[in-house]
Amino acid sequence: KRLERNVGRRDEGRNEERKKERKKERKNERKKERKKERKVKEERKKERKVKKEKERKKKRKKERKKERKKERKKEMKKERKKERKKQTNKQTNKQTNKQRKVKKERKKQRKKEK
């Protein structure tokens, strides 16, 4: 009987040890899991940051392109205006010259008549 009791006590001791071991293992497992989760979280954070930066650059590029386009348009408008002005001046000059010529001719004509 005493032997059986002793065996029982020994079993209890082993059970306690196993219990402690299992507890330790579970703790370690949780620790590893948390570490993994933290790592994943950091990775995602980094990825988001990179994505955001990429988007920002893309947006900036687009804006610059738009600005350049606007600028070119403005320049072209200026050029066309200049060209039109030139043409009208040319036309006006032509007309003025014609009028001068006609005036001169008339003057000559009058002189001849006298």
- For the chain, give every domain's residue range: 1-87
Structure tokens at 91: 């036309």
Residue 87 has pLDDT above 90, yes or no: yes
Per-residue model confidence as pLDDT tens digits over 36-71: 999 999 999 999 999 999 999 999 999 999 999 999
Q: Return the closest-CA partner of residue 101 out of 111, 112, 109.
A: 109
Torsion of CA 60, 64, 69, 71, to 10 degrees: 140
